[in-house]
Structure 1
Amino acid sequence: MSTLSERDPGLVELMDDPACDRDALFRTYAAFSHVNALLAGWRRTYRERLRPNFTGPEHSVVDIGAGGGDVARALIGWARRDGVRLEITAIDPDERAAAYVSTLAPLDGYTHRLGTSSDLADEGRLFDFVLSNHVLHHLGPTELGTVLADSEQLARLGVVHSDIRRSATAYALYSVFTAGRFRGTFIREDGLLSIRRSHRVAELAAAVPVGWRVVPQAPHRLLLMHDPRAGR
């Protein structure tokens, strides 16, 4: 535990408990917009990994395991300022996420859907980009394989799965950052559990198929990427 030298994928986060406090869960979804904005690196990912691959004034996106949809909403705003319209389908299998999103003001370009990536793949859907945030560390080997296969099938232009990169430093800094903050939510407890469940670059690289690339992102992130155009 002191060095976090090994993953602990058997840990269960509080918000994944179907019996967890609903109000605390909704407060957690609301807090994600602040935590992810500060720590998840999506502004940089948008600038460096998505925007350079835009090919026109409008693009379709699916955000897998979108939770309360804060990342998707941020992406829509950034792209709009760049003169690009994103149509984002935020998909999540948890009915509680859908219930939370129903309390938010509608946003042009944002659609929330109950379901999984496999539901979309089975329907033959296609999107320009496939994304996820903090999903990978939740997946066992079989689930990871399914999500990556679905991603390859769904994406026209690119796939970016963003997650935490496990380290003792990340754990210590997050512990300090959340101390005394986000009371009444699962942000602190689940965030620390997430770090312990997350991958290092070499671990994830060894677990994914040929054609996928794992890239570290400062300070404590990693990106799992696939370019569907590479084999064409």
Structure 2
Amino acid sequence: MRESHLAERMDDPHCDLGELNRTYAQFGTVNGLVAGWRRVYRQDLRPHLSASRPNTLLDIGCGGGDVPRALARWAARDGFTLRITAIDADARAIAFAQAQPPVSGLHFRRAMSGDLVREGQRFDLVTSNHLLHHLTGSELRALLGDCEALSAGLVVHSDLQRSPLAYLGFRVGVAPLFRGSFIGEDGLRSIRRSFTTAELRKLAPPGWTVRTLVPFRNLLIYGASDRD
């Protein structure tokens, strides 16, 4: 059963700032190991990028900013102009992200998806990483409604897939690699908070599809995609 009541230490407004910043700094490594964004970029995002005009992408819940930085780097390497707006509701995350070396076309902002809907903004692509498990069912539905309003093309939410094997694999193979941060403890809690594929499919509104990605990932997708 999903344990949505569990609190992650990095979400505590009074948590140790040094440990929190080390957590943000280590996200790039841990996401490189488990999140599979390079594959998602190649298979889902890149086919929707235009070489003849600037493209726009919104990353929701960006944390320390490692995923939008990677997307900006890959798109530039492939010859695309990609303007990324990366948002997070936590001022500490935005402060960390803005303190890193700047990346052309990437802008960090403290905001929530609803703020951008009220501003009437639209983006070619909308993404998130490890956001869905933080949400209740009603919060998830609200987020997906915002994404439908914000997207002019494709939405891809990537999150953990809850399973005993995922928990064991992270506990044994990943958590011991990261010291002095919240990644080990919070990662295990995140898995316990996350959705199974069946749960996510049950919650997905019409027009949304759920696809699995090895290892232990759920992709919640909306918009033009021939890979559902």
Q: TM-score range by the shorter chain?
A: over 0.9
* TM-superposition CA deviations, 1:32-56 (whole Å, max 9, x none): 0100011100000001111112233
User: Matched residue of 2:176: which SS?
Assistant: coil
Deviations along 1:94-142, one digit per CA (max 9) or x if unpaired, are 0101111232111111100001000000000010001000000000122
Does the alignment pair 1:40 with 2:35? yes
2:85, 2:122 → 1: CA distance? 11
Q: How far apart are residue 228 of structure 1 and its match?
A: 6.2
CA distance in 2, matches of 1:73, 1:98: 13
Which one-letter code corresponds to 1:161 in the other structure?
Answer: H
State, as a whole percentage, how many aligned pairs show the same letter: 51
Task: Determine the structure 2 residue equivalent to 1:3.
Answer: none
Find the counterpart in structure 1 of residue 168 from structure 2.
172
Question: Which of 201, 206, 209 does residue 202 from structure 2 map onto?
Answer: 206
**Hey, what does 2:123 align to over in structure 1?**
127
- For residues 201 and 229 of structure 1, the distance between their equivalents in structure 2, rounded to whole angstroms, comes to 19
* Corresponding residue of 1:17: 12
Distance 2:34 2:204 in 1: 25
**Equivalent position SS for 2:177:** coil
1:1-232 → structure 2 map (5 Å cutoff): 6-57=1-52, 58-227=54-223
Cα distance in structure 1, aligned partners of 2:150 and 2:67:
19
1:45 aligned partner, one-letter code: V
Greater shift, 85-94 or 51-60, is seen at 51-60
SS at match of 2:99: coil
Q: Counterparts of 2:43 and 2:224 in 1: how far apart (Å)? A: 18
TM-score, normalised via structure 2 length? 0.95
Paired residue secondary structure (2:32):
helix
Q: Which amino acid is the alignment partner of residue 160 of structure 1?
A: V
Over aligned residues, Cα RMSD in angstroms?
1.4
Cα deviations across residues 47-73 of structure 1 (Å, max 9, x unaligned)? 111111223342100000001110000
Judge conservation of contact 1:152–1:228 (CA < 8 Å) in 2: no
After superposing on structure 2, the runs of 4+ consecutive aligned residues of structure 1 that deviate more than 3 Å are: none
Q: Could you tell me how far apart the structure 1 residues matched to 2:222 and 2:175 are?
A: 36
Find the aligned partners of 1:180 and 1:117 in 2 and give their Cα distance: 34
Further displaced range: 49-58 or 217-226: 49-58
- The TM-score, its normalising length taken from structure 1, stands at 0.94
Structure 2 CA distance for aligned equivalents of residues 179 and 115 of structure 1: 30
Shift of the alpha carbon at 1:192?
Answer: 0.3
Q: In 1, distance between residues paired with 2:224 and 2:212?
A: 20
Counterpart residue identity of residue 184, structure 2: R
Q: Is the 8 A contact 2:50 2:80 kept in 1?
A: no
Whole-angstrom distance in 2 between the partners of 1:80 and 1:34: 21
Residue type at the aligned position of 1:71: V
